[in-house]
Structure 1
Amino acid sequence: MKDLTGKTGLTAASLYNAYGDKRGLFRAALDRYVSESIGNRIRRCEALPPLEAIHSFFDEILRRSLNDRQHKGCMLVNSALEMAPHDAEFQKIIAGVLTRIEGFFSGASEQVRPTGPLRNHSRLQSSPGTCLAF
């Protein structure tokens, strides 16, 4: 709270009045992160052809991760690891976001199967026991 009040110029009382408590404030921050970071990424990628959409999704994550000088990581992943195991509300929120991401990938992959470019893409072909490289 000290960092927030110092950076925003708001008092702790104002923040608590607006969000109820630290948990409410964190929930609002996570909701905004999901909407702005993940939601916007999905919307941008859904406008692309399927293979380009999948590539772009991962490319954005990689660029963001490589430029993360403070090594903060992804707020969704951090929340999934730190909060979801101990908090049913956050577990439900995070599961919903992960389902949304899964839906994006399912939709994109369905558009290129079974005879589309994904099947014939040489970079995606692998032998048993190897990982696919995107």
Structure 2
Amino acid sequence: MKRLDQRGSAAFEFCLVAVFFFTFVFAIFDLGRYAITMQLLRALASDGARATMIQCYTPQVTQSLSPSGCTSVSTYYTSTYLTSVPSIMGLTPTLSASDSGSVLTITASLPGFSMMTPTWSGLNSTPTASTSIPY
């Protein structure tokens, strides 16, 4: 019986497997990048909340009175962390605050962030993290 020619079968099998393998590798890389971004935003929100608590909380605030003027985080947050640490893929994060009566919420976001793989592109276009400070 004559043997069939099997030249090129390994290359063909590699092409079949490589598509799924590299898609899987890039998806893992992209999700890791997203997780690192979220962790940096959580750290930024916590750091901004700490700076606000140190600078803005007066004895009146600790007696359950509203902290007047504490929603301008940029006046309290003078650390270089905002500009130096999360230079994530050339994007600069933003830090904002909102007062909802009895809770001051510090929010960090990264506008312009996008996932690289098309599978995850709709996951979250602007990742945000927030920290709440009750008063």
Query: TM-score normalized by structure 1?
Result: 0.37
Q: Which has the higher strand share?
A: 2
Which protein has greater RCO, CA pairs closer than 8 Å, 6+ apart? Answer: 2
Q: Which one has the bigger helix percentage?
A: 1
